[in-house]
């Protein structure tokens, strides 16, 4: 039996919870795969160039950890892709032509490239030449990152839908420019920032595990080499991550102003907008109606304007401006967007009825409205259809995401990034001086950086995904319209099943990884 209208919101909430849970579990494995692959390839490159067997021994140890983590990531990733069809079938119908293309390329090209060379990487020692084995290792590392590219292209299109056109006959968005989808600024910034963040996490894991060995007086040569190599690799990756993070922020300011406002807890737009370093937000009702959204705040004047638009005097819209409108800066009230969205939905319904009735005259008139190549169509699309998704929004306040969650997730991510700068600087400096093993307090800190690195990556995705709510596709389809209409009890059951399975998988993965670390590289 299909869910009733009263049950629909429960279905949306449980479907979102299930997808979020699956994505978070999946992301506990992905960044280590992204970061550890290149580090293994670099280690093996040194071995091939020097012939030093200790580098081969070190490479095989880290490859073993990479393989364990890779297997768990594949298992959770497959479930994540299936959920688009089971939990989000309306979404899949609406954008399947666009969203499915990068996922298909990821499965056909990147995944098969990884799978092909993965066998050689793990079982080809002493069976193929050194250079061919090294090539296989690099291909696995590159393939893992190419997989991330196509998945992130699909996700970026949801954040900033470009390169597509709506077909009223099928009620679907269809791709008109593959290259515009692939090379959109949102996709390129997201890919580069996500991958470099994975490099940072991989480096921190190598540093942390190596520090654990030094604290126990084991594998000192391997540990010191690992710390030095990972410190250089991680420091370079962190510089790139900070750079791409800034570019991503500028792109968000242009394409998702509500997300930026939530990240900064900015309720009142202004020129020379302040960057909130830290603050205590008031309850939601007071934030939306009062003059000041904070109980207290430490802020830097003009910094947000500069970070968003490269101009310290630029005007940055706040949440109230976006919700209530700001005629001076060309912002429509959300209430007006909702009304225009309902007009667009009504015209689409009329088109579908005309098709079923075979009314050629009505179809011709309605086709002109949806045709962007005609003046009438361009005007209709710009004035009404661009707000199509708003027609499913119940109230203007619904477009505001969970501001405290987005605000604090962003600050945790940035704060930990600053902490990692200090970590890489200290470890690199002391390792070059040959004194890192004498700083036991620093070695302990290196170990504790591992869970903090994972926390940073999860917070980054919370900002990305929670910041764009209530949208499944920015401005085109809210989550309430994207969900599959099934009984909420069905989603609750599968949520509990997946939670139990993924928790068991995570526990097993951690036990196997820690066991292998305790065993060490062996002979």
Residues 230 and 278 in one domain: no
At residue 145, φ and ψ (nearest 5 deg) are: -75, -30
- Mean of the pLDDT values across residues 184-198? 93
Which contacts of 461-466 are long-range, i.e. CB under 8 A and separated by 24 or more positions? 461/23, 461/24, 461/27, 462/405, 462/406, 462/409, 463/259, 463/263, 463/406, 463/409, 463/410, 463/413, 464/155, 464/159, 464/190, 465/20, 465/23, 466/401, 466/402, 466/405, 466/406, 466/409
- Mean of the pLDDT values across residues 52-70? 92
Residues 405 and 307 in one domain: no
Residues 129 and 146 in one domain: yes
User: What is residue 8's predicted lDDT score, i.e. its pLDDT?
Assistant: 63
- Mean of the pLDDT values across residues 133-162? 91
Residues 324 and 380 in one domain: yes
What's 403-450 look like in SS3? Answer: HHHHHHHHHHHHHHHHHHHHHHHHHHHHHHHCCHHHCHHHHHHHHHHH
96 pLDDT band, cuts 50/70/90, is: confident
Residues 240 and 284 in one domain: no
- Of 22, 154, 150, nearest in space to 77 by CA: 22
- Of 318, 274, 279, nearest in space to 298 by CA: 279
Measured in whole angstroms, the distance separating CA 305 from the mean position of its chain's CA atoms is: 24
Q: Is residue 522 part of a domain?
A: no
Q: Is residue 412 part of a domain?
A: yes
- Domain boundaries, position 344: 262-400
Residues 33 and 138 in one domain: yes
- Mean of the pLDDT values across residues 202-219? 93
- Mean of the pLDDT values across residues 448-452? 94
1 pLDDT band, cuts 50/70/90, is: very low
The share of the chain scoring above pLDDT 70, in percent, equals: 98
**CB contact at 8 A, 31 and 413:** no
Q: Which residues contact 353 (CB under 8 A, 6 or more apart)?
A: none
Residues 408 and 395 in one domain: no
**CB contact at 8 A, 58 and 172:** no
**CB contact at 8 A, 268 and 211:** no
Which contacts of 307-314 are long-range, i.e. CB under 8 A and separated by 24 or more positions? 307/246, 307/249, 307/250, 307/275, 308/249, 308/250, 308/253, 308/260, 308/273, 309/250, 309/253, 310/250, 312/272, 313/271, 313/272, 314/271, 314/273
Which of 382, 400, 418 delimits the end of a domain? Answer: 400
Residues 245 and 326 in one domain: no
Q: pLDDT tens digit string along 384-426?
A: 988 999 999 999 999 999 999 999 999 999 999 999 999 999 9
Q: Is residue 245 part of a domain?
A: yes
Asked whether residue 107 carries a pLDDT value surpassing 90, the answer given is: no
Out of 287-296, 334-343, 385-394, 411-420, which region has the weakest mean confidence (pLDDT)? 287-296
Q: How far is 220 from 204, CA to CA, in rounded Å? A: 17
User: What is residue 4's predicted lDDT score, i.e. its pLDDT?
Assistant: 57
Q: Is residue 523 part of a domain?
A: no
User: What is residue 2's predicted lDDT score, i.e. its pLDDT?
Assistant: 44
Out of 104-113, 147-156, 168-177, 498-507, which region has the weakest mean confidence (pLDDT)? 104-113
How many domains in the chain?
2
User: What is residue 80's predicted lDDT score, i.e. its pLDDT?
Assistant: 81
At residue 294, φ and ψ (nearest 5 deg) are: -115, 145
Residue 382: asked if its preceding bond is cis (omega within 30°), the reply is no
User: What is residue 259's predicted lDDT score, i.e. its pLDDT?
Assistant: 95
Residues 107 and 165 in one domain: yes
Q: Is residue 321 part of a domain?
A: yes
Beta-carbon neighbour count of residue 358 at 10 Å?
8
The share of the chain scoring above pLDDT 90, in percent, equals: 54
User: What is residue 147's predicted lDDT score, i.e. its pLDDT?
Assistant: 86
Residues 199 and 316 in one domain: no
Residues 239 and 271 in one domain: no
Q: Which residues contact 112 (CB under 8 A, 6 or more apart)?
A: none
Residues 345 and 469 in one domain: no
Which of 346, 380, 400 delimits the end of a domain? Answer: 400
Q: How far is 375 from 455, CA to CA, in rounded Å? A: 50
454 pLDDT band, cuts 50/70/90, is: very high
**CB contact at 8 A, 265 and 281:** yes
Higher per-residue confidence, 365 vs 241: 241
User: What is residue 37's predicted lDDT score, i.e. its pLDDT?
Assistant: 93
Q: Is residue 476 part of a domain?
A: yes
Beta-carbon neighbour count of residue 298 at 10 Å?
11
Mean of all residue pLDDT scores within the chain: 89
Which of 381, 400, 419 delimits the end of a domain? Answer: 400
Q: Which residues contact 108 (CB under 8 A, 6 or more apart)?
A: none
């Amino acid at each position: 039996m299909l869910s009733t209208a009263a049950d629909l919101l429960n279905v949306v909430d449980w479907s979102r919870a299930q997808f979020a849970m699956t994505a978070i579990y999946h992301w506990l494995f992905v960044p280590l795969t992204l970061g550890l692959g290149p580090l293994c390839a670099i280690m093996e490159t040194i071995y091939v160039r020097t012939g030093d067997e200790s580098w081969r021994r070190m490479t095989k140890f880290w490859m073993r950890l990479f393989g364990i983590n890779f297997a768990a990531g594949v298992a959770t990733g497959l479930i994540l892709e299936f959920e688009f069809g089971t939990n989000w079938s309306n979404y899949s119908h609406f954008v399947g032509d666009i969203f499915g293309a990068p996922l298909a390329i990821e499965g056909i090209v990147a995944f098969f490239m990884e799978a092909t060379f993965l066998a050689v990487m793990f079982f080809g020692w002493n069976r193929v030449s050194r250079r061919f084995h090294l090539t296989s290792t690099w291909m696995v590392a590159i393939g893992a990152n190419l997989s991330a590219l196509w998945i992130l292209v699909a996700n970026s299109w949801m954040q900033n839908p470009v390169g597509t056109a709506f077909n009223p006959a099928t009620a679907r968005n269809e791709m008109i420019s593959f290259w515009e989808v692939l090379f959109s600024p949102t996709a390129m910034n997201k890919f580069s920032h996500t991958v470099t963040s994975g490099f940072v996490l991989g480096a921190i894991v190598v540093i942390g595990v190596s520090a654990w060995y030094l604290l126990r007086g084991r594998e000192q040569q391997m540990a010191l080499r690992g710390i030095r190599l990972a410190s250089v690799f991680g420091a370079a990756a962190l510089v790139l991550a900070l750079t791409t993070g800034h570019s991503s922020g500028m792109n968000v300011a242009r394409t998702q102003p509500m997300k930026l406002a939530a990240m900064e807890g900015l309720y009142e737009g202004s020129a020379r907008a302040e960057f909130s370093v830290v603050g205590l937000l008031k309850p939601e009702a007071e934030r939306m109606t009062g003059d000041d959204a904070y109980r207290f705040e430490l802020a830097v004047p003009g910094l947000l304007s500069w970070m968003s638009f490269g101009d310290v005097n630029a005007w940055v819209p706040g949440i109230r401006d976006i919700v209530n409108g700001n005629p001076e800066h060309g912002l429509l009230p959300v209430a007006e967007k909702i009304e225009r969205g309902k007009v667009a939905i009504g015209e689409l319904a009329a088109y579908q009825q005309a098709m079923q009735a075979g009314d050629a005259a009505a179809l011709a008139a309605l086709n002109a409205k949806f045709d962007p190549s005609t003046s009438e169509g361009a005007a209709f699309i710009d004035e009404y259809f661009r707000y199509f998704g708003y027609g499913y929004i119940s109230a203007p306040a619904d477009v505001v995401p969970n501001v405290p969650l987005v605000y604090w997730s962003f600050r945790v991510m940035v704060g930990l990034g600053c902490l990692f700068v200090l970590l890489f600087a200290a470890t690199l400096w002391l390792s070059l001086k040959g004194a890192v093993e004498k700083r036991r307090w620093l070695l302990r800190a290196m170990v504790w950086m591992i869970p903090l690195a994972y926390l940073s990556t999860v917070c980054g995705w919370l900002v990305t995904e929670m910041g764009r709510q209530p949208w499944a596709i920015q401005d085109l389809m809210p989550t309430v319209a994207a969900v599959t209409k099934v009984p909420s009890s069905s989603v609750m059951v599968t949520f509990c099943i997946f939670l139990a399975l993924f928790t068991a998988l995570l526990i097993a993965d951690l036990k196997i990884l820690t066991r292998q670390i305790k065993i060490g590289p062996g002979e």
